[in-house]
Structure 1
Amino acid sequence: MGILEGKTALVFGLANERSIAWGITQAMHAQGAKIGISYAGEALERRVRPLAAAVGCTFVESCDVSKDEDIAAVAAKAGEAFGQ
C-alpha cells in the first residue's frame, strides 16, 4: 500500500515521456493515487493518451493553463469523474 492510496491527483501539462509531469505521474501512480491528466492542445493528445493508459488513467483532457476558465473547467470535470 502506497502513501497516496485512496488519493486523487490531477496532473497538468503532460507532454511526452520526457516531461517532468510524466515523472510526477509515474511516482504518484506507484504510490497508489488515482490520476487525471491534462495536456496542452490537440497535437499532444496522440502522445499523452498511450502514457495515460500505461498508468491506468482514464481521465485525460486538453487544458490551456494560461486560461483560468480552462483550468476551472478541467477541475470541475475531474471532480465529477472522480466523484469529488
Structure 2
Amino acid sequence: MTENSDARAAFNPRPSRSLFDTVPVSPTAPDLTAARSTKVGHRRTVHVTADSFVLEEWNHRALDYRSVPRTADSEAALRSRYPEVFDA
C-alpha cells in the first residue's frame, strides 16, 4: 500500500454520486415558473426548465438549490440517475 495520498486518489478515484455534487449550493430559488417538477427522494425535487436542471433539497433548516445547464451530457447523467424525471 502506498503512503502517497495523491497516488491513491489517482488509482482509486471516488466516483461522483450525482451531476449536482460538483455544483455550489444556492439558498435562493431560480425562476421555476415554467418548470416541470419531479420528487426524486425524501426532501429532494428535480425541476426541469427550458435551459437547466435544478435540484431542490431540504437541509433541515431551509431549501437549497443546485442548478446545472441543460446539455446532452447533463441530460444523460440525470436520466441514468433519476429516470423518473423523464417518465411523463
Judge same fold: TM > 0.5, yes or no.
no
Between Structure 1 and Structure 2, which shows a larger proportion of strand residues? 2
Which has more helix, going by share of residues? 1
Q: TM-score, normalised by structure 2?
A: 0.28
* TM-score, normalised by the number of residues in structure 1: 0.29
| Higher alpha-carbon Rg | 2
